[in-house]
Structure 1
Amino acid sequence: MKTLFELVEIYNRNHARNEDWKLSDFKNSPKSLEEQIKDAVWGRESRTNRDKHQFRIPKKTLEEMVGILQDPAIVNEIKRCKSFDDFFTIVYESRIKNFGSLAVYDTSVRLGAIFGYYPTVVYLHQGALEGAHQLLGKDLVETISKYFCGNLDYPYVSRDIFPEPLNKLEPYHIENFLCINKNKLKME
Structure 2
Amino acid sequence: MMLLNSKLQVLIRSYCIQNRPSSAADLHFFSNMSSFEDVLETVSLAKEQHGKRQKHQRRISPKVLLSAKQRLFPAKNNLKSCNSFEMLHTCIKDLLLNPKILGLGELYFYDTALRIGAYLNLLPEKVYLHSGTRIGAKKLGIDWKKESLDPAIFPEPFKALKPYEIEDFLCIYKDTFEKKDVSRRRDLSCP
**Aligned-partner residue type, residue 82 of structure 1:** N
Match in the other structure for 1:70: 73
Match in the other structure for 1:111: 116
Highest relative contact order (Cα 8 Å, sep 6+), 1 or 2? 2
Question: Unaligned 5+ residue runs, structure 1?
Answer: 147-154
Question: Unaligned 5+ residue runs, structure 2?
Answer: 181-191
Q: Is the 8 A contact 2:31 2:118 kept in 1?
A: yes
CA distance in 2: counterparts of 1:116 and 1:17, whole angstroms: 18
Match in the other structure for 1:49: 52
CA distance in 2: counterparts of 1:185 and 1:116, whole angstroms: 32
RMSD between superposed Cα atoms in Å? 1.6
Match in the other structure for 1:91: 92
Change (3 A) 1:60 1:166: same
Match in the other structure for 2:18: 14
Q: Is the 8 A contact 2:46 2:65 kept in 1?
A: no
The answer on 1:80 being equivalent to 2:81 is yes
CA distance in 1: counterparts of 2:132 and 2:16, whole angstroms: 18
- TM score, norm. by length of structure 1: 0.86
**Aligned-partner residue type, residue 62 of structure 1:** L
CA distance in 2: counterparts of 1:185 and 1:42, whole angstroms: 33
Q: Which moved further from structure 2: 81-90 or 6-15?
A: 81-90
Match in the other structure for 1:35: 38
Number of residues paired by the alignment? Answer: 172
Q: Which runs of 4+ in 1 moved over 6 A?
A: none
Q: CA deviation at 1:122?
A: 0.6
Q: CA deviation at 1:51?
A: 1.1
- TM score, norm. by length of structure 2: 0.84
